[in-house]
Amino acid sequence: MGACPACASEVPGGAAECPACKLSVELFGVVREAAGPEGRKDPVFMQTVGELLRSVDLTTAASTATTDEDEPPQLLDRGGTRRRMGAPADRPARSPDAVAPLDALPSLPPRVESDALRRRLEEYSQLGRRLGVDLSGQVGRAGPAALVADDAALETIVREMFVRLASTLAEEYERTLGRRNELAQLVPTTSADVEFAAIRGALSAGDLAGAFRRLDHVREQLSQVEEDWATGRILATECDLLAETLRELGGDPGPALGPLQEGRKYLGAGRREPAERMLARSAIALWSLLKPRFMEELKRLRDRILEAKSAGLDIAPAIAELRSITVELKARNFVGTIGAYRHLKAFADRAEPAGAVGGLEGVPDGAGPAPSA
C-alpha cells in the first residue's frame, strides 16, 4: 500500500485507514496529488463554477473559468487566507495553565516629599500620554499648586492620576490576558506567561511605569506568536469550516478528521511544521469529500438566483459572491470559498418563496419566478 500521504507512516496492504493519523485509504490519492510537486487545483470543478456564473450573468467573460495552464497553488501558501481570516479555530488543541487575573487595583502609593511629588507628577503625565488617558484636568490644576508649593494639593492630584492610570492598566492587563487565553488554546505562550506575573508584581508595588513596559513587551510577544503560528491556526479553522459545511450538506467528514486531530496535537505541542503539513492535508481530504455535494448545492443556488432574476430582483450581490468563489478556489482558499458560499446561500434563502402560494419574498404576487433555465 505504501506510505500515508498525510503523516508518511507505512500502511499495510488491505488496511482501511492509516494506523497513525487515521486518514481513510480512499482519500490517499487526492491528498497525495495535492501534496506532491505536481499538485493542482481542480480545473474541471473550476470550469463548472465558471459556467454556473455565466448561466446567471451573460456579461461574464469566458476567462472566469480556470484552465490547466494556470500556475498551481502552493498547498501551504495561506497568504490570501491570512488576509481574509484571522480568527483562531474554536476547538482547543491543548489545555494551557491558567494565568491569574488581577484580583484588585493596586494600593495608593506612599506619601512622598515635594520634589518626589513633582517627579511623580511628570512620570504620570508621560504615562498618561502613552496610554491615551486624558489627564489634562489634573495637569492644569497641578501648575498653580506647584507655584505656591501646596504639597497637599499636589498629593491629591497625583493620587487622582494614579487611580486613573492604574484602572486603565488593569483593563489593558485583562484585555491582553484574554488575548493570551484565546491563543494558548492552540499554541504555547510560555515566554509571555512569565511576564504576566511580573506585571502583577509591578502593579502591586505601585510601579505603574514598570507595569506598562512589561505589558507592552507581552503584547509584542503575543503578536510574534500570532505571526509565527498564523498558518497553523488558519488551517485548523479552515478544516473546521470544511467539516461543518460537509455536515450541513449531509456528508460525513469522519474519513478525513484523523489528520486534523493529529495536526491539533502538533499545534499544542509547539511543533509548527508537522502541524501545518498535517492540517493542510486534512483540508485537502475534507475538500475532496465536500466537493461533489458543494457542486450540487451551487447548482441549486444557481436555480434560485435565476428565479429571482426572472422575478425582477437585483441579483448583482449573488453574482459577486459567485465570482468570489471562483477567485478563492483558484487560490485554494477554502475559508474564503466557504464564506462566499454562505453569503450566496443567504441571498438565495431570502429569495425563497414566501409560503406555498405567492411570489418570491419581497416580490408582489403575480410576479412569480419563471422556470429555471
Digit-by-digit pLDDT tens for the chain (373 residues) are: 578 888 888 888 888 888 888 888 888 888 877 655 444 445 555 565 666 666 665 444 434 444 444 443 344 444 444 334 334 444 555 677 778 777 766 666 767 677 788 888 889 999 999 999 998 888 888 878 777 778 788 888 888 989 899 999 999 999 999 999 988 887 888 888 889 989 988 888 888 999 999 999 999 999 988 888 888 888 888 899 999 999 999 999 999 999 999 998 888 888 888 888 899 889 889 998 998 999 899 888 888 888 888 888 888 888 888 888 888 887 778 888 898 999 989 988 887 654 433 444 444 444 444 433 3
Tell me which residue has cell 479552515: 238
Q: Spell out the residues 6+ positions from residue 86 whose beta carbon is closer than 8 angstroms to its own.
A: 230, 234
What local confidence, expressed as pLDDT, does residue 90 receive? 45
Please report, for residues 71, 118, 196, the alpha-carbon distance to residue 127 in angstroms, rounded to integers and kept in the order given: 52, 14, 19
Tell me what pLDDT residue 1 has.
58
Question: Which of 305, 295, 290, 294 has the alpha carbon at shortest distance from 344?
Answer: 305
Q: Could you tell me if 66 and 50 are in contact, meaning their C-beta atoms sit under 8 angstroms apart?
A: yes
Under DSSP, the state recorded for 368 is P
pLDDT of residue 53: 66
Which of 74-96 are b and which e, b meaning 16 or more Cβ less than 10 Å from the residue's Cβ? ebeebebbeebbeebbeeebeeb
List, in order, residues 6 or more apart from 192 with CB less than 8 Å away.
180, 218, 221, 222, 225
d(CA 170, CA 176): 10
Rg, the chain, Cα only: 29
Residue 289: how many other CB atoms lie within 10 Å: 22
Q: How far is CA 59 from each of CA 63, 206, 241, rounded to the nearest angstrom? A: 12, 67, 32
360 — phi, psi (to 5°)? -70, 155
Dihedral over Cα of 69, 245, 356, 314: its sign: negative
Residue recorded with cell 498535517: 278
pTM for the whole thing?
0.63
* CB atoms closer than 10 angstroms to residue 306: 19
Q: Where are the domains of the chain?
A: 25-87+231-350, 114-184+188-226
Spatial separation of the C-alpha atoms in residues 280 and 78, rounded to whole Å:
10
Q: For residues 348 and 373, give the distance between their C-alpha atoms in angstroms, rounded to a whole number.
A: 16
Residues 6+ apart with CB under 8 A from 165: 124, 127, 128, 131, 133, 208
Find how far residue 80's CA is from the centre of its chain: 12
Q: Write phi, then psi, for 67 (nearest 5 degrees).
A: -115, 170
Helix (H, G, I), strand (E, B) or coil at 266: helix
pLDDT for position 247: 95
How many residues are given for the chain?
373
